[in-house]
Every structure is written in structure tokens, then in C-alpha cells.
Structure 1
Amino acid sequence: MIYKFRAILDAEEDVFRDIAIQDDATLEDLHNAIVNAFGFDGMEIASFYTCDDLWNQEDEIPMFDTGDVMGEQKVMSDYSLNELLNEDQTKIIYVYDFINMWTFLVELAAVEEPEAGATYPDLLFSHGELPAAAPEKEFEAENDDFYSEFEDDLDEDDLDMFGGDDSFEDYGFEENWN
């Protein structure tokens, strides 16, 4: 079967690409198709994130194993598309380049029979120009009380570990230690 995805840049302007790819292709194959469809050089790290129907980010699926024990963490090449996505679970988030945070909402739009003579992955449709820089992201707390757990009765004097004289004498610090 062929999965047809729409990858939408998370931005104010409409910028998206429609991509057809085999259902047994890996997330790494989809990553490569998205990189090519949007004209990236493919030299940056990326991850997919599972999400719910409201695009709330859940589990990360990275390009490379970054776990403490090599081989313990599953990566993009370990997942086939039909393992994660189907007619009930259609959404996944893709982030390319963790410095610039190009963020894409990727949704499975259709599952169809392959077309005779077609090669996959295939860029089906392109809309909008990729901006010169990644759109700014506003990160928000899940609730309005995010900072309340950090607030207490401390003031600037409480944060001064030297008692105001910037002296290290009480800590056994010798100025000419070497």
C-alpha cells in the first residue's frame, strides 16, 4: 500500500508538501523524503515525535541511538510507517535541525494502491515557499502555574552565597593554590 502524507511547516503562512511513500518504508525513509521535498541539505539531526489527535507531543524517535546503552533505544530506521501510522493514528510531528527547530506536522491523508509505473517516495504536490529562517516558536507551560512551583520567599540576599563580601575565606579557598 501507499501512504500519502501532508507535511505542513508549523508557521503562519501555508507551506506544505504532499508525499507518497510505501507503507513498509521506515521513518528514516520518510525523513529523507521530507528533507528532499523541502530542499534541506540533510546535514542536520532530526527526530519524529508521536502525538495525540491534538498534536500534543509524546515519545521521541531519533535518527541515532542516544541512549546510555547502545542498541537499547529504537531509532527511525527501526520503525516501518505501518507500525506507527494507520487510519486510526494519522499524526506525527517531525523536527529538523535542533538549532533552528524546523517543525512539521505530518499527517497521513490517504492509504491507496500503488500506481503502475510510479516510483516512491514521490513528491505529489508542493505549496508555499520555505522561509529563509525557521519560524519562531513560543514555548508554553502546560498550565498557568508553571512558575509557581519555583516561587517562594527568597530574595536577592538569599542567593548571595558569600554574604555580600564576595569572599571565599569561609570555603577554604586559597588564592595562590598552585
Structure 2
Amino acid sequence: MIYKFRVILDAEEDVFRDIAIQEDATLEDLHNAIVNGFGFDGLEVASFYTCDDTWNQEDEIPMFDAGDVPGENRIMSDYQLSDILDEENTKIIYVYDFINMWTFLVELAAVEEVQTGVTYPDLLFSHGEMPAEAMEKHFIAEDDEEAYNEFEDDLDEDDLDAFGTDDSFEDYGFEENWN
């Protein structure tokens, strides 16, 4: 079977690509198809994220295993598309280049039969031009004041003594004006 995806750039202007790819292809294969479809050079790190029906980010699926124990974490090449996407679970998030945070909403639009004579992955449709820069992201904690108060309440006198009240750096073995 063939999975047909609409890959939408999170931007003010409409920019998306429709991509057809085999259901047994890996997330790494989909990553490469997205990179090619949007004209990236492919030199940056990327991750997929599972999400719910309203695009709330859940588990990360990275390109590389950065865990303490090699092989401990599953990566893009470990997942076939059919492992995590089907007619019930149609959405994933893709982030390319963690400096610029190019963010894409990837939705499974159709599952169809293989067409003879077509090489997959296949860029079916391209709409919109890539902007010069990724949209600025604003990361906001749900309730900053409440989180800070909880942190402060968890500190005891020993913790506060460790911070000290003197602005002097003499106790740390280096001078305040070291350069």
C-alpha cells in the first residue's frame, strides 16, 4: 500500500507538499522525502513527534540515538510508517533544524494501492514558496508563577545556604574579573 501525506509548514503563508511513499518505508525515508520536497540540504538534525488529534506533541523519534546506552532509544530508521500511522492515527509532527525550528504538520491523507511505473517516494504536489526564515516560536509554560512557587516551596534552608548571599567569587577559586 501507499501512504499519501500532506506535509504543511507551520508558517503564516500556505506552504505544503503532498508526498506518496510506501507504507513499509521508514520514518527516515519520510524525513528524506520531506527534506527533498522542501529543498533543504539535509545537513541538519531532525525529529518526528507523535501527537494527538489536536497536534499536541507527545513522544520524540530522533534521527540518532543520543542516549547513554547505545541502542537504547529507537530512532527514525527503526520505525516503519505502518508501525505508528494508520487510518486511526494520521498525524505526526516533524521538526527540521533545531536552531531554526522548521516545524511541519504531517497528516496521512489517504492509503491507496501501488501504481505501476511510479517511483516512490513521489512528490505529488507542491504549493507555496519556502520563507527565508522559520516562524519564530514562543515557548510558554502553562503557569510560570505557579511553577516557580512550587520550586521555591521545595527548597529548604540548606539549599538556600548553598546559594549564599555574598556576591563574592573568592570561595570558588577564581577571581571576579578574570579577563
1:37 is paired with a residue whose SS is helix
Alignment partner, residue 156 of structure 2? none
Alignment partner, residue 25 of structure 1? 25
Q: 1:174 to 1:105 in 2, by over 3 A?
A: closer
CA distance in 2, matches of 1:35, 1:174: 47
Q: 1:113 to 1:70 in 2, by over 3 A?
A: same
Alignment partner, residue 59 of structure 1? 59
> Identity over aligned residues, as a percent?
72
1:114 Cα deviation after fit? 1.1
Q: 1:174 to 1:20 in 2, by over 3 A?
A: closer
Q: 1:4 to 1:147 in 2, by over 3 A?
A: same
Alignment partner, residue 36 of structure 2? 36
| TM-score, length-scaled by structure 1 | 0.86
| 1:147 matches 2:145 | yes
CA distance in 2, matches of 1:99, 1:138: 14
Task: Give the unaligned 5+ runs of structure 1.
Answer: none
Give aligned pairs, total: 166
**1:25-55 superposed Cα distances (whole Å, 9 cap, x missing partner):** 0000000000000000000000000000010
**1:84-117 superposed Cα distances (whole Å, 9 cap, x missing partner):** 0000000000000001000000000000001121
Alignment partner, residue 14 of structure 1? 14
CA distance in 2, matches of 1:119, 1:19: 12
Cα RMSD (Å): 2.2
Q: Which amino acid aligns with 2:148?
A: F
Q: 2:166 aligns with which of 136, 140, 163?
A: 163
Q: 1:161 to 1:36 in 2, by over 3 A?
A: same
1:9 Cα deviation after fit? 0.4
| TM-score, length-scaled by structure 2 | 0.86
1:54 is paired with a residue whose SS is coil
